Copies of this chain bind each other. A is one copy, B any other.
Amino acid sequence: MSTAKIRLYVEHPLGQGQTVPLDRDHAHYLFGVMRQGTGDAVLLFNGHDGEWRATVAQASKRSGELLVEDQTRPQQNPPDLWLLFAPIKKARTDFIVEKAAEMGAARIIPVQTDFTNSERIRQDRLQAHAVEAAEQCGGTYVPEVTDLHKLDRLLADWPEERKLMFCDEALAGEREAVHTDERANPWAILIGPEGGFSDAERARLHALPFAHPTALGPRILRADTAAVAAMTVWQQRFGDWT
């Protein structure tokens, strides 16, 4: 029995004895790039049936078929954590999405703030980054990347039971990380744009009953660093790291 090293996300039910047809991209990747052939094993997950070992039943340049054999890992959903961030330069935005998937966010919401430059994002491209990160990190879940939302509207419609860890760089060095023990609640983390929040946004955020202003150490972190640091703090305190 060959050991599977390749992990693929597929949009297909997974269960013992299932056959999974491969689309052109997956066939090209598996057989062209990775030089796999009939009988070779790959790991599959679809976001809700756990991880399964499958073997190549048919291989051609542009298509193929896998046969699902046995479950290698049960489904594990991440904690109910949203990551809200203001899109920045392309490479760093890609990194934030990748890191949110690795760190176990359930949903990734790009937000437009007063000082955000982006008017639009490529949601499909960001979603593809999340899939790739999930394949790489061994998770069985792919976080959903939503379209760009205006922060003020999102806050106006906020579900009150969801706590918001609001990372305010203006607090750098002034306050310890998030003070609360509300482990049971769903949460969201909000990372500000590179230019910080506007005074109006900051005042509004500090006044919200569900918001927990949080400092991430004494230095000012770039948005992508802050995203990983905030998710680390959160996962250790409330999430699936303990």
Query: Which positions in A face B, CB cutoff 8 Å?
Result: 76, 91, 95, 98-99, 102-104, 136-139, 172, 176-177, 216-222, 225, 228-229, 231-233, 235-236, 240-242
Contacts and interface: CB of A to CB of B under 8 A. Distances in A.
A104 B217 contact: yes
A200 to B, nearest CB: 20
Contacts of A136: 220, 222
Contacts of A76: 218
B177 A217 contact: no
A137 B219 contact: yes
Given A95-B95, A217-B241, A102 B177 contact: no
A99 B241 contact: no
Q: Which of A137, A231, A242 has the most CB of B within 10 A?
A: A137
Given A102-B221, A218-B241, A225-B103, A236 B95 contact: no
A218 B76 CA distance: 10
Nearest to A217: B241
Contact of A242 (B176, B220, B231): B176
A235 B173 CA distance: 12
A137 B194 CA distance: 11
Nearest to A221: B102
B240 A103 contact: no
Contacts of A221: 102-103, 137
Contact of A219 (B138, B219, B236): B138
16 contacts: A76-B218, A102-B222, A103-B221, A104-B218, A104-B219, A136-B222, A137-B220, A137-B222, A138-B172, A139-B219, A176-B242, A177-B236, A216-B241, A217-B240, A225-B228, A233-B236
A60 B126 CA distance: 44
Contacts of A98: 222, 225
B235 A217 contact: yes
Given A217-B240, A241-B177, A225 B138 contact: no
Contacts of A233: 232, 236
Contacts of A241: 176-177, 216-218
Given A176-B242, A216-B232, A218-B241, 8 more contacts: A98-B222, A102-B222, A138-B219, A138-B220, A176-B241, A217-B235, A228-B229, A236-B236
